[in-house]
C-alpha cells in the first residue's frame, strides 16, 4: 500500500523542513548534482510531483518557462507557494498521485525522493501517466535515497529498476553513490556534445 497522506501531514506539523533540505550538505549537494545531470540549459515545461517545501522547485524554476509542482500535504503546498513567490511562471497544486495526475504535456518530469512512497501498482500507474504526458523529446529524471526507509513499500533500487523497465528510453546520464541513485532518461539519445555539433 502506498504511504497515506496523513503521514506527510504529520511530518509538516512537526517541522516546515522535515528533511532538512535547507541545512544539510547532503541535500545541497544532491540538488546541485540533480541540476548538473540535466542535458539542457532550459526546458519549456517541468513537472515536479512531491515537491515538499519547494527547495528543489526554486532551482528548477530558473531552468524553465513553466513549472508545475504538486504535493499531497496541504502544508507542503503552502510552503512551496511561499518559496516560489518570485517565479510567476511556477504553480503549486495539492494533488494525490497517481490518481490526480495533471493534464498537459511536460518536457521534463522530476521524480526526486518520492517514488518509494508508492507501492508497485501505484508506481506503475504513475509511470503510465508520466509517459502519456511526456513530450516527444521529453526526459524523466529520478533521484532516490538508497538506504531503506521504514514504512516505504519500495527502495531506491526497486524504483529505478522499474523505471528502467517501464520507461524503455535511453539513459542519458547516471550518478550513483553510496547515498543515492540519480538517473536521467530521455526519448532522444543525442549527447550534449552532439547537440552542439562537437561530435
- Domain ranges for the chain, please list them: 5-195
**Cβ pair 153, 1 in contact under 8 A:** yes
Q: What is residue 34's predicted lDDT score, i.e. its pLDDT?
A: 97
89, 65 Cβ separation under 8 angstroms: yes
Say if residue 199's pLDDT is above 80: no
Instruction: Quote the pLDDT of residue 22.
Output: 83
Q: Grid coordinates 502519456 are at which residue? A: 132
The angle formed by the CA atoms of residues 190, 195 and 199, to the nearest 5 degrees, is 85
Summarize the confidence of residues 48-73 as an average pLDDT: 96
Q: What is the pLDDT of residues 124-149, one digit of tens each?
A: 999 999 999 999 999 999 999 999 88
pLDDT on residue 136:
96
Alpha-carbon gap, residue 50 to 122, rounded angstroms: 14
Q: What is the pLDDT of residues 91-101, one digit of tens each?
A: 999 999 999 99
Least confident of 4-8, 69-73, 99-103, 144-148: 4-8
The CATH classification of domain 5-195, taken from the options 3.50.50.60, 3.40.50.150, 3.40.50.2300, 1.10.3720.10: 3.40.50.150
**Mean pLDDT across the chain:** 92
Query: Does pLDDT of 79 surpass 80?
Result: yes
> Are the C-beta atoms of 161 and 170 separated by less than 8 Å?
no
Q: End-to-end alpha-carbon separation of the chain, Å?
A: 47
- Would you say residue 16 has pLDDT above 90? no
Q: Give, in order, the Cα–Cα distances in Å from 181 to each of 18, 110, 159, 170, 196.
A: 21, 13, 10, 16, 28
Backbone angles phi, psi at 27, to 5 degrees: -70, -40
Statement: residue 51 has pLDDT above 80: yes
Amino acid at each position: 500500500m502506498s504511504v497515506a497522506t496523513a503521514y506527510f501531514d504529520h511530518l509538516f506539523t512537526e517541522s516546515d523542513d522535515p528533511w532538512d533540505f535547507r541545512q544539510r550538505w547532503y541535500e545541497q549537494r544532491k540538488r546541485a548534482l540533480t541540476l548538473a545531470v540535466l542535458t539542457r540549459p532550459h526546458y519549456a515545461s517541468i513537472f515536479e510531483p512531491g515537491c515538499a517545501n519547494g527547495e528543489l522547485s526554486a532551482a528548477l524554476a530558473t531552468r524553465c518557462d513553466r513549472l508545475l509542482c504538486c504535493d499531497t500535504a496541504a502544508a507542503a503546498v503552502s510552503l512551496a507557494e511561499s518559496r516560489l513567490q518570485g517565479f510567476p511562471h511556477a504553480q503549486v497544486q495539492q494533488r494525490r498521485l497517481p490518481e490526480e495526475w495533471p493534464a498537459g504535456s511536460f518536457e521534463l518530469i522530476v521524480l526526486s525522493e518520492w517514488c518509494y512512497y508508492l507501492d508497485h501498482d501505484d508506481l506503475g500507474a504513475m509511470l503510465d501517466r508520466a509517459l502519456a504526458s511526456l513530450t516527444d523529446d521529453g526526459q524523466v529524471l529520478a533521484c532516490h535515497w538508497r538506504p531503506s526507509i521504514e514504512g516505504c513499500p519500495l527502495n531506491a533500487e526497486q524504483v529505478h529498476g522499474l523505471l528502467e523497465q517501464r520507461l524503455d528510453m535511453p539513459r542519458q546520464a547516471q550518478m550513483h553513490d553510496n547515498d543515492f541513485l540519480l538517473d536521467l532518461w530521455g526519448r532522444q539519445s543525442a549527447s550534449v556534445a552532439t547537440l552542439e555539433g562537437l561530435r
